[in-house]
Amino acid sequence: MLLVIDVGNTNITLGIFSKEELIGTFRLTTKMPRTSDEYGIDICNLIEHRNFTVRDIEDVIIASVVPDMMYSLRNAIIKYFDITPIIVGPGVKTGIRIGTDNPKEVGADRIVDAVGAHELYGGPAIVIDFGTATTYDLVTEDGTFGACVIAPGISTSVQALWQEAAKLPKIEIKKPPSILGKDTVSSMQAGIVFGYIGQTEYIIQKMKEESKLSDIKVIATGGLGKMIAEETEMIDIYDPNLTLKGLHCIYKRCTKSSR
């Protein structure tokens, strides 16, 4: 079995693949500092709670946008699984060519999403990840990562509202009954949800216009992406596990090329 780990700014998402099938997913909080032993014990406990064993894990691949925690996490995998993990980064074969001005600026998570979208759904595609930041990445038919748009994430925007405006409360992020808010909470929800639907549709439209590419698929992922995808016809596919599947694709390419 393969353990795939996506280290984001908010959550660490883990998945277990048995051959081609994703058979389990787990989450840890990123912002909680942990030692290698704490990472090792937490990950082992999550795996064993789902009736797998550490011995079931034959290999590990990691994509991370949080460099400061990688030393402890990598050592945890070595110590508790007796495996040296593959880390997505320079030198790792992904099958995606980075066509932006500075390829080093493109985060590992976005490369992995692009790989997953291209391998599973084909191109050209706009890949949207609704995470701590919301990213819109253009992948051409031949697998070139060509352009990107980065906006504040939904949760990040909500947090900014209640932290910076003294009288605005914390709110649950959900679609209100109407855009015509009757109280502070529903007014904030309307601004966030309908505002993000509008932002998403406009950015997709402009990316399609300026890229001059026809038949572009729009693929979304990320926890809050489902809410937006359900409210617009401009998102063709919502895949909550796109990043984990992309890691699986990269792992297969890496192991195939090393044979």
Active site residues: 109
Rounded to 5°, the CA angle 1-220-139 comes to: 90
User: Contact at 8 Å (CB) between 152 and 145?
Assistant: no
Neighbours of 250 (CB within 10 A): 26
Task: Quote the tokens at residue 83.
Answer: 């495996």
Residue closest to 105 by CA, chosen among 132, 130, 135, 131: 135
User: Contact at 8 Å (CB) between 97 and 139?
Assistant: no
